[in-house]
Chains A and B, each alone.
Chain A
């Protein structure tokens, strides 16, 4: 294994080196770096040209310039751009902005994509499956910039206008009701009567929900409040128990329910602390939650200790997330007032000169992250859905799944323990590729949303025929791709013992 990693590292190093040479030469050849100065009419034009020529070493052949750049890199310098700014701090800012954007989008795409993919595999050839497949194809074919401009128009400008008087018109409620019913109906298997019942139930639930939200003007001052937090957490507790242990044994269920209850109570007890916390405190609380939940699962789990621990930890963290969301939503009204009723923003990463407490600051970043993330997610989401669907279908046809069913195991155990884990192996590799790709691929999204990230650094450098920022960008993305590819290979060998690294 170590020999394999070492060999891969050495090869990757040389591959990366060759790639830097290609990019450097191509960038340097891609245009005239003095173009803007040649059209300059100021008296010191000649001076400026001489200045830049010296700074960018334009009088030296390109390969020699590359060697100079390489020498500086070895010494740990990224060089200066054509205006003489040091590239390193520029890269630092850009990287942190892009990571913020990409991390949130990727995590969301992975979770939602895998869940949707698996459900559509388990319900193969159902209405849901066809709709998901079609939606995935549309997502593959959408130009990201086009959808980004649409999002700006409909999700930001019109949504913000709507927030002034957030009542949902009856026709929209009707459409949403129909949609809810269709989703429920398409997810149900069985004869026509059962599906019709599911359709009616889904329609009734969503219709009632949206009417209530509209009548109470919920969107003007959103929030859950304790009863709703408790209800959501308890439902989640049951859900996680069903997934991890089933309801046959009581132990895991009690552990998960206790985790939800304790979480809800803790949110009240800790209320003073949650008025204006720091991220450190939030992380601390999450750790405490995990410890308490492991204890609960261990104590109450009985025979199914391990499953009980899984269920209670998931429930505990989920409850924590709901409480967090609740606090964010409660800060919404005051935040909305500060930004003059336009909470969804279309430009940049934060409102300039904005000051507020922890929740308002988070809302501010969330409002700025929302649209670019949505634009970024669409394609990744489709990829994850397709992949996990295909791999789940493949696994469900394997002999060991048939064996598991033949043994008389409940379908839940077959799906969760025998199929799900093996079905995820190929998806793990995809995650590694995708994350590395997205860092470089956010170029277009950043451009539309005026996000000062890596993509912007690259495009600006390329327009100005300035190799230093372009190379800084490439060193990060190229290294990410190489490293993530290696992680993917190692993970694959670890998860699937049939694969041997050599």
Chain B
């Protein structure tokens, strides 16, 4: 993000009245505005916490974590699988702050529910990021090509986008999930990304349409710069705000999309697990064993909410009209 460095006079004499205006690059301003956005900061911290918790606790890809149980091993059911997590200190009449044997309880065959939920959170995060990356790359490339080259290429690409937009996301995602659900989170994420790019494609194309008429692009073309260089070095960096914001919000909706698919039984398949699948499996247990229902739901909300907050902060930070820093 080293773009649009605001023209500063190198070697400006140090100002004796203390009235110097500190020159900041675009990225510095964006970073400043972002870190002053309180909700976005809270979102970042919350999201970081969930990621660290999910990946460090039960480990990932063969690397063991600090939690001693796995999401596959069954154990003896203790105390009807009730959660042992306690957050009320002893002097307030509680049993003290401790995790206990099964902090989130156990499911009906004795699998540790904390490990299950963490595994689900891992899957959600992986899918969300893969979807975000694939959809962003595809959307940005399609939008850039269509917006820069115009003509027949644009017509073809935009009709393709129209076709994709005509199909409701959940519908195409359900069909894809039905096909790819049992091949794991990564594959599912890639294919979901391949069907959710059109919104971003349209946005990027719109940006390109207006930017390609600007003088700096004309200048670049006049000195014989290759189109690929103009697209990637001259125009694309100027659309980075739109792309980043849209990608973040896309990641948030991908979390919900995946959980909805798994809820319908079209996403991740057993024996692997995901948050939506856990909720679907235990939706009737709400009354007798509410913890089986609450924990995965809380984690979906935490992940989606924190990403949404980050996206909102980024939108405000990148918005050039935004002069006032929001509380």
Which residues from chain A sit less than 8 Å from chain B, CB to CB? 11, 14-16, 18-19, 22-23, 26-27, 29-31, 125, 137-138, 140-146, 149-150, 152-153, 157, 437, 440-441, 443-444, 447-448, 458-459, 462-463, 473-474, 477-478, 481-482
Q: List 11 A-B contacts (CB under 8 A).
A: A30-B178, A137-B309, A141-B256, A141-B300, A141-B305, A142-B304, A145-B276, A444-B264, A459-B264, A462-B178, A474-B171
Query: B159 near A15 (CB under 8 angstroms)?
Result: yes
B176, B259, B264: residue with the most chain A Cβ atoms closer than 10 Å: B264
Identify A462's interface contact among B175, B293, B304, B305, CB under 8 A: B175
Query: A145 near B179 (CB under 8 angstroms)?
Result: no
Q: Please report the C-alpha to C-alpha distance between residue A330 and residue B256 in the assembled complex, in whole angstroms.
A: 41
Query: B283 near A22 (CB under 8 angstroms)?
Result: no
Chain B residue numbers with a CB within 8 Å of A141 are: 252, 256, 300-301, 304-305, 308
**B110 CB-CB contact with A under 8 Å:** no
- B contact face: mostly helix, strand, loop, or mixed: helix
Q: Please report the C-alpha to C-alpha distance between residue A473 and residue B178 in the assembled complex, in whole angstroms.
A: 17
Query: B263 near A145 (CB under 8 angstroms)?
Result: yes
Chain A residue numbers with a CB within 8 Å of B308 are: 137, 140-141
Chain A residue numbers with a CB within 8 Å of B265 are: 463
Q: Which of B168-183 contact A (CB under 8 A)?
A: 168, 170-172, 174-176, 178-179
Q: How large is the interface on B (under 10, 10 to 19, 20 to 34, 35 or more residues)?
A: 35 or more
Q: Please report the C-alpha to C-alpha distance between residue A481 and residue B170 in the assembled complex, in whole angstroms.
A: 14
Query: B260 near A478 (CB under 8 angstroms)?
Result: no
Known: A15-B162, A140-B252, A143-B260. A31 touches B168 (CB 8 A): no
Chain A residue numbers with a CB within 8 Å of B162 are: 11, 15
Query: B166 near A481 (CB under 8 angstroms)?
Result: yes
Chain A residue numbers with a CB within 8 Å of B168 are: 437, 440-441, 477, 481
Chain B residue numbers with a CB within 8 Å of A14 are: 159
**B297 CB-CB contact with A under 8 Å:** yes
Identify B287's interface contact among A144, A153, A473, CB under 8 A: A153
Q: A143-B279, A144-B256, A463-B265 are in contact. List 9 more A-B contacts (CB 8 A).
A: A11-B162, A19-B167, A137-B305, A142-B304, A146-B301, A152-B286, A153-B287, A448-B283, A462-B266
Chain B residue numbers with a CB within 8 Å of A149 are: 279, 283, 286, 293
Query: B171 near A143 (CB under 8 angstroms)?
Result: no
Chain A residue numbers with a CB within 8 Å of B56 are: none
**B280 CB-CB contact with A under 8 Å:** yes
Q: Which of B286-327 contact A (CB under 8 A)?
A: 286-287, 293, 297, 300-301, 304-305, 308-309, 312, 327
Q: Which 9 A-B pairs have the closest CB atoms?
A: A440-B168, A141-B304, A141-B305, A30-B178, A146-B297, A19-B166, A15-B162, A26-B175, A30-B179
Q: Please report the C-alpha to C-alpha distance between residue A449 and residue B260 in the assembled complex, in whole angstroms.
A: 15
Which residues from chain B sit less than 8 Å from chain A, CB to CB? 39, 159, 162-163, 165-168, 170-172, 174-176, 178-179, 252, 256, 259-260, 263-266, 276, 279-280, 283, 286-287, 293, 297, 300-301, 304-305, 308-309, 312, 327
Query: A16 near B166 (CB under 8 angstroms)?
Result: yes
Query: A143 near B297 (CB under 8 angstroms)?
Result: yes
Chain A residue numbers with a CB within 8 Å of B171 are: 23, 440, 443, 458, 473-474, 477
Q: Please report the C-alpha to C-alpha distance between residue A473 and residue B170 in the assembled complex, in whole angstroms.
A: 13
Query: B287 near A23 (CB under 8 angstroms)?
Result: no
Q: Please report the C-alpha to C-alpha distance between residue A435 and residue B130 in the assembled complex, in whole angstroms.
A: 29
Q: Please report the C-alpha to C-alpha distance between residue A304 and residue B165 in the assembled complex, in whole angstroms.
A: 47
Query: B297 near A137 (CB under 8 angstroms)?
Result: no
Known: A26-B176, A477-B171, A478-B166. A153 touches B286 (CB 8 A): yes
Query: B179 near A15 (CB under 8 angstroms)?
Result: no
Instruction: Please name the residue on chain B nearest to A130 by beta carbon.
Output: B327
Query: B175 near A23 (CB under 8 angstroms)?
Result: yes
Q: Please report the C-alpha to C-alpha distance between residue A153 and residue B312 in the assembled complex, in whole angstroms.
A: 32
Q: Please report the C-alpha to C-alpha distance between residue A137 and residue B279 in the assembled complex, in whole angstroms.
A: 22
Query: B175 near A27 (CB under 8 angstroms)?
Result: yes
Instruction: Please name the residue on chain A nearest to B287 by beta carbon.
Output: A153
Chain A residue numbers with a CB within 8 Å of B260 are: 143-145, 444
Query: B264 near A440 (CB under 8 angstroms)?
Result: no
